Amino acid sequence: MKRRYINIDSLRFIASLGIVMVHVLKNIDFYDMPSQGVYGYIYALFLMRMEKFVSLFFLISGFSISCGYYHRVKDGNISMNDFFSKRYRRILPLFAAIVLVEAGYLFVTHNLETIGIVFESMADLTLVYSFLPASSISIVGVGWALDVIFAFYIIYPFIVFCTWTKKRGWISLFVAVFLSYSARTYFANAGSITNCNIAMWAQYFIAGVVIYLYIDQIGAWIDKSKLLSLGVFAFGFFLAFFVSMDSIFLENVKNLLSWSIVLISALGQDWSMSNTRIVKLCSQYSFDIYLLHMMVLRLLQKCHLVFYNGILGGVAYTAMIYLFALLIAYLFSLVLKRMSPMRKRST
């Protein structure tokens, strides 16, 4: 029986919470935010840089999909129809609902031309936005990360080919690092970087696959002590946020290395927080929360439910948005479960 690495639930929870907080801080002008001292240091180098957690999501996706499908794809024991049908069923319903709500809002307020609404909605709903030559999108702007992940699913059989052996895996990882660097520098359009381009992020997905290839060796080492696991996590976390490199290339490599260390730390003994119900629930709906949180934030702003008093206000507002997004995701999943038997009976 395959082991379930429940510490990854903690990583998903931390990543989703961090992304919600940084978007709250960047979209709301909280007064009395500290600019000096310890709080100022944490605010500048940690809180305002938590968008980095998106990269961790990508790394986890590469590892997690490999746990379930790497050998099945490699051995030819999987139907591509089943593989992609499962991906669409898991991802599309909630995302489609969010797209339709935002498209309707933009249409009513005329913040986007009708032709733009049609084109952007189609790009979103097909989940192939990352294959288009675009640098931004108005409808569900945070959805770019979902499209990058789905692009990875589309090319996953090719990734399996590229990582057929461990040697191939390392070669592919090095190539992906240089492709990411070239995308950020040489191929950047007048200095503008297209975040949704799969070449920018392929290194994280491939790193997740390479870590999976060494899962037995990593497990035998990191599983020796929970203290070792937590120490490795702290080191990777510190490296990600509090160490900066002067060059784009070295910073890119440092980010990849730091998140890989964090993922490796989660493959050891179970952490106490990973066994809690709230962490498991938040992990299950972590990406749903990611997709919903900006819509919830805008809604609360429209209702003037904003707290403007420094760090405490930022924390309270983050918690409010996170819990609202979690509640919506949970209720939506219940509706889908209720509808599923109805569809079966109708067919």
Identify the bridge partners of residue 309 per DSSP, sorted by sequence position: 31
Residue 192 has pLDDT above 60, yes or no: no
Q: What is the pLDDT at residue 133?
A: 74
Residue 104 has pLDDT above 70, yes or no: yes
pTM reported for the whole predicted model:
0.91
The rounded percent of the chain whose pLDDT value lies above 90 is 50
Q: What is the pLDDT at residue 346?
A: 46
Q: What is the pLDDT at residue 27?
A: 83
Q: What is the pLDDT at residue 38?
A: 62
Q: What is the pLDDT at residue 143?
A: 86
Residue 327 has pLDDT above 90, yes or no: yes
Average pLDDT over residues 124-139: 81
Residue 13 has pLDDT above 80, yes or no: yes
Residue with tokens 């108005």: 138
- Provide the H-helix boundaries in the chain: 7-27, 37-45, 53-74, 80-109, 114-126, 144-162, 166-184, 198-213, 215-222, 226-242, 248-265, 277-284, 286-302, 310-346
Q: What is the pLDDT at residue 123?
A: 87
Rounded distance between C-alpha atoms, residue 8 and residue 62, angstroms: 12
Instruction: Assign 134 a pLDDT band (cuts: 50, 70, 90).
Output: low
Rounded to the nearest 5°, which phi and psi values hold at 31? -90, 165
Q: What is the rounded average pLDDT for all residues in the chain?
A: 87
Task: Find the distance separating the first CA and the last CA of the chain, reported in whole Å.
Answer: 35
Closest CA to 293 of 37, 6, 94: 94
SS3 309: strand
Q: What is the pLDDT at residue 60?
A: 96
Longest CA span, the chain:
64
Residue 94 has pLDDT above 60, yes or no: yes
Residue 54 has pLDDT above 60, yes or no: yes
| 147-174 pLDDT tens trace | 899 999 999 999 999 999 999 999 999 9
Average pLDDT over residues 247-263: 94
What lies within 8 Å, CB to CB, of 5 at 6+ separation is: 67, 266, 267
Average pLDDT over residues 244-249: 88
Q: Which of 246-255, 261-270, 300-309, 336-345 has the lowest mean pLDDT?
A: 336-345
